């Protein structure tokens, strides 16, 4: 397997050039029936903790059949007291089983002390926060010996007193921690709708060689809010951002995130074909 010389992570170049989906069991049969059109799948690590019996067998089958990346939800890379050791052990166990190309989680706080916040709380874009996250990612990489990438989450609010622009903040963290970026273009779209953040400036400010993975998804408007719901087809604005990323020379594993209610799998395949066309 070829490797890209990015940071200290040996990131599989052939996976980085692929197109795939976030795995949903409802689409299992369709996924295998269309194996030739799926280059890789993303698994939510949290869904496979302590998998036994049929679930473990399903996990083994998926990992044997597809190149895999893992995506996690509760690492809480921004928590001052550091990531939960038990959580990291569970991630490491899943990773040892499926041998992912890399794993990822969101640049946010999801836990304070023993309290699970139940949502992604934004970080202040300060030097202090960079130091906290870099320290945490170093510990994460000691505990889970797999390349790690951070994802830009949807921001519910901006914390004032920022010392970095949004892209500068993510760049400083990934350069200092020597990790990858999972760039969620629909999250950039949501931040544009909700907070007026300019997404093309964000993309232009990133070290694109560190972007290992792209998330594409579709949300909807609920009153004054744009909801990052993963329940709609990828909207035109997010396709524009994908084109911007590609035109600037970005190449990354493109993953479609879709949650229930799920459309026919053919719809997702058509969206993947569109992504391939944009990148051609």
Partner 1 sequence: MIDYQRALLAAINDDGTSAVPNVDRKEFQRFLAVRKRKNRPLQTKPGWAKIITFLRRT
Q: In angstroms, rounded to a whole number, what is the distance separating the alpha carbons of residues 167 and 218?
A: 22
Residue among 99, 98, 70, 40 at smallest CA distance from 180: 70
Rg over alpha carbons for the chain, rounded to the nearest Å, is 18
For partner 1, the binding residue among 69, 75, 79, 136 (CB under 8 A) is 79
Residue 109 lies near partner 1 (rule: CB under 8 A): yes
Given a contact cutoff of 8 angstroms between Cβ atoms, the answer to whether 144 and 95 are in contact is yes
115 touches partner 1 (CB under 8 A): yes
* CB of 128 or CB of 266, closer to partner 1: 128
Binding mask 211-230 for partner 1 (x = CB under 8 A): --------------x-x---
Pairing type for strands 253-256 and 211-216 reads parallel
Site membership for partner 1, residue 259 (CB under 8 A): no
| Sequence-ordered list of residues with C-beta below 8 angstroms from that of 96, at least 6 positions apart, any chain | none
Token readout for 38 is 């799926």
The nearer residue to partner 1, 190 or 256, going by C-beta atoms, is 190
What is the closest distance, in whole angstroms, from the C-beta atom of residue 23 to partner 1 in the complex? Answer: 20
- Nearer CB in complex with partner 1: 108/182: 108
118 near partner 1 (CB under 8 A):
yes
Euclidean distance between CA atoms 93 and 280, whole angstroms: 37
Span from 16-24, 44-52, 150-158, 175-183 in contact with partner 1 (CB under 8 A): 150-158
Residue 238 touching partner 1 (CB under 8 A): no
- Residue 119 has a CB neighbour count (10 Å cut-off) of 11
How many CB atoms are closer than 10 A to CB 257? 19
- Please give the helix or strand (H or E) that residue 103 lies within, else none: strand 103-106
Of 53, 113, 249, 261, the one binding partner 1 (CB under 8 A) is 113
Return d(Cα 151, Cα 153) in angstroms, integer: 6
State the binding string over 183-202 for partner 1 (x if CB under 8 A, else -). -----------xx-------
- Least distance CB 119 / partner 1 (angstroms): 4
Contact positions vs partner 1 (CB under 8 A): 78-80, 109, 112-113, 115, 117-122, 124, 126, 128-129, 132, 156-161, 194-195, 225, 227
């Amino acid at each position: 397997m070829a490797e890209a010389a990015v940071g200290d992570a040996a990131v599989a170049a052939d996976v980085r050039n692929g197109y795939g989906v976030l795995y949903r069991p409802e689409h299992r049969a369709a996924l295998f029936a269309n194996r030739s059109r799926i280059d890789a799948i993303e698994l939510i690590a949290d869904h496979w903790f302590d998998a036994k019996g049929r679930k473990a067998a399903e996990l083994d089958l998926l990992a044997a059949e597809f190149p895999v990346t893992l995506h996690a939800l509760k690492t809480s890379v921004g928590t001052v007291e550091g990531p939960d050791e038990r959580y990291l052990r569970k991630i490491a166990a899943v990773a040892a089983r499926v041998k992912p190309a890399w794993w990822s989680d969101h640049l946010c706080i999801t836990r304070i002390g023993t309290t699970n916040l139940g949502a992604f709380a934004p970080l202040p874009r300060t030097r202090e926060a960079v130091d906290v996250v870099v320290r945490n990612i170093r510990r994460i990489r000691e505990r889970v010996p797999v390349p790690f990438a951070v994802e830009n989450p949807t921001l519910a609010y901006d914390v004032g007193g920022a010392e970095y622009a949004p892209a500068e903040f993510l760049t400083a963290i990934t350069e200092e921690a020597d990790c990858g970026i999972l760039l969620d273009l629909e999250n950039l779209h949501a931040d544009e709708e909700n907070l007026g953040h300019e997404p093309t400036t964000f993309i232009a400010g990133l070290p694109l060689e560190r972007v290992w993975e792209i998330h594409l998804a579709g949300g909807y408007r609920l009153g004054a809010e744009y909801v990052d719901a993963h329940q709609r087809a990828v909207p035109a604005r997010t396709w524009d951002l994908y084109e911007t990323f590609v035109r600037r020379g970005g190449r990354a594993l493109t993953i479609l995130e879709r949650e229930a209610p799920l459309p026919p799998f053919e719809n997702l395949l058509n969206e993947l074909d569109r992504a391939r066309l944009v990148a051609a």
